[in-house]
Amino acid sequence: MTVETTDTQSSKPPSLARYLGVDVRPRRLGFVVIEGAVVIDSGTRMCDQSQFDGCLGQGFDRILKTYSPYAVIIRGVTDTAANPRRRKVAMAIRRRAKKYSMDIISIGDAAIRSYFGRHGATTKYQIAQRVATMLPELAWKLPRNRKPWESEHYRMSIFDAAAIVIAHLEL
């Protein structure tokens, strides 16, 4: 886990602070805002390829301005095998969070799998089910388990973002 610290305006203790979890995809991002152990908001922001940079950036700025989180928690995408567009979006998120003087916390896949593995969740869908159990406000958004030939439902990125925050805070 990597933490990039900047001076934050909030003096709340981290356990009571508001966190923004972000799951980056090539043309969209999933987010969840958690304060304590309560979901304040969640959703996805999508843009077509032609509006990629400006559209997602504006959506992310609105989220930051609306919720003023203590820190932004993002899945680490520094791996060289990661999608180049995904890395580009992650870097833009880091720049924008720093612009608002917010801490950026990067958490790796191994830490997420390790945390949820201790709770008996090993597959992506099992992790999403565990997130829905831990954060009942999200339960109604959980899509059904997909078949191997189906594409992943866009709302799964909300659960990936929530898993990032849960693994970091160890709720």
Q: How far, in Å, CA of 75 to CA of 64, rounded?
A: 17
Dump pLDDT digits (tens) for 36-56: 889 999 999 887 765 556 777
| Both structure tokens of 89 | 């979006």
Identity at 61, one-letter amino acid code: D
Structural tokens at position 7: 């001076």
How many CA atoms are closer than 13 Å to the CA of 167, on its beta-carbon side? 29
- CA 98 → CA 6, 92, 94, 123, 159, distances in Å? 7, 10, 6, 33, 24
Homologous superfamily of 2-169: Ribonuclease H-like superfamily/Ribonuclease H (3.30.420.10)
pTM: 0.85
The structural domains of the chain, with segments of one domain joined by +, span 2-169
Q: What is the pLDDT of residues 2-38, one digit of tens each?
A: 444 443 444 455 667 899 999 987 778 899 999 988 9
* DSSP strand pairing (28-35 vs 18-24): antiparallel
